[in-house]
């Protein structure tokens, strides 16, 4: 369970989900602080969004390390140095090994543009179109060693239209992503949940039933 409300946001690209988190905090819909934004790509557009919001940025390229584990350990050390309590992956295009996963137990979350467990990995929206599903959506989940497979925190659905392309479906899902990520972060930070098997169970929900 997250111990503090200091977020570390990891990006590789444009950072629209990062922006949604920045906006949610500014509008007091989310009680948190972004302690640092880390990108593995120096030209990631999200770095400018962070700088504009006055947030510290770090570029840590994944190239040139002796092993994936060494890179993972460097990431953990950057995050720990800033007392990060919850790590939010927001379009961070890297897989992690155990040094990273074990560095933040149940405190790394990811956003994925499909209703997991359907369509993990790259091009989730195109996968949904190719499969012919009539609804897709977004999933925010805890990160485990298996790709896009950890316990699910929040999902939102989006209809798939007959005339959708990968771009139009992705754009419609992205709107829901921007609502789902701050919602999931708030849920995790507020506590009162536990993980049973694959299920994230909220005590408040249990009490209300």
Q: Is 120 in the site for ligand GRF (CB under 6 A)?
A: no
Work out which of 21, 76, 109, 111 binds ligand GRF, going by CB under 6 A: 111
Q: What are the Cα distances from residue 142, in Å, to 14, 61, 145?
A: 22, 24, 10
Q: Is 177 in the site for ligand GRF (CB under 6 A)?
A: yes
Which class for 67: exposed (0-12), middle (13-18), buried (19 or more C-beta within 10 A)? exposed
Helix H, strand E, coil C: the string for 49-118 is: HHHHCCCCEEECCCCCCCCHHHHHHHHHHHHHHCCCCEEEECCCCCCCCHHHHHHCCCCEEEEECCCCCC
Residue 66 C-beta: closest distance to ligand GRF, Å? 27
φ/ψ (deg, to 5) at 54: 75, 25
Window 30-59: residues binding ligand GRF (CB under 6 A): 46
Work out which of 6, 8, 17, 185 binds ligand GRF, going by CB under 6 A: 17
The pair of three-digit structure tokens given for residue 15, joined into one six-digit string: 């950072």
How far apart (Å, rounded) are the C-alpha atoms in residues 80 and 6? Answer: 11
Q: Which is nearer to ligand GRF, 1 or 179 (CB)?
A: 179
Q: Is 73 in the site for ligand GRF (CB under 6 A)?
A: no
Q: Is 176 in the site for ligand GRF (CB under 6 A)?
A: no
Q: Which residue in the block uniquely carries the two structure tokens 């990995």? A: 121
User: Residue with CB nearest ligand GRF?
Assistant: 91
Residue 198 C-beta: closest distance to ligand GRF, Å? 20
Work out which of 4, 16, 57, 126 binds ligand GRF, going by CB under 6 A: 16
Whether a cis peptide bond, with omega within 30° of 0, leads into 117 is yes
CA dihedral 83, 67, 1, 117 (to 10 degrees): 140
The pair of three-digit structure tokens given for residue 79, joined into one six-digit string: 């995050």
Residue 14 C-beta: closest distance to ligand GRF, Å? 4
Residues in contact with ligand GRF, total (CB under 6 A)?
A: 13
Q: Which is nearer to ligand GRF, 91 or 150 (CB)?
A: 91
Q: Is 14 in the site for ligand GRF (CB under 6 A)?
A: yes
Catalytic residue among 62, 112, 123, 141: 112
For the question of residue 131 being annotated catalytic, the response is no
Interacting residues with ligand GRF (CB under 6 A): 11, 13-17, 46, 90-91, 111-113, 177
Instruction: List active site positions.
Output: 112
């Amino acid at each position: 369970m997250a111990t503090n409300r200091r977020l570390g946001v990891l990006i590789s690209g444009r950072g629209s989900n990062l922006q949604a988190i920045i906006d949610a905090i500014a509008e007091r819909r989310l009680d948190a602080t972004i302690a640092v934004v880390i990108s593995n790509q120096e030209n990631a557009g999200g770095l400018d969004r962070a700088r504009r919001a006055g947030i510290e940025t770090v570029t840590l390229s994944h190239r040139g390390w002796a092993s994936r584990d060494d890179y993972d350990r460097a990431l953990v050390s950057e995050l720990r140095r800033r007392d990060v309590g919850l790590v939010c992956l927001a379009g961070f295009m890297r897989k992690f090994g155990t040094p990273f996963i074990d560095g933040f137990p149940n405190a790394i979350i990811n956003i994925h543009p499909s209703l997991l467990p359907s369509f993990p990995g790259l091009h989730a929206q195109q996968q949904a179109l190719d499969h012919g599903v009539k609804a897709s959506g977004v999933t925010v989940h805890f990160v485990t060693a298996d790709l896009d497979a950890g316990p699910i925190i929040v999902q939102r659905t989006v209809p798939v239209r007959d005339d959708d392309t990968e771009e139009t479906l992705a754009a419609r899902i992205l709107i829901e992503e921007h609502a789902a990520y701050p919602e999931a972060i708030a849920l995790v930070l507020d506590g009162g949940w536990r993980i049973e098997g694959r299920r994230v169970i909220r005590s408040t929900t249990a009490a209300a039933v």
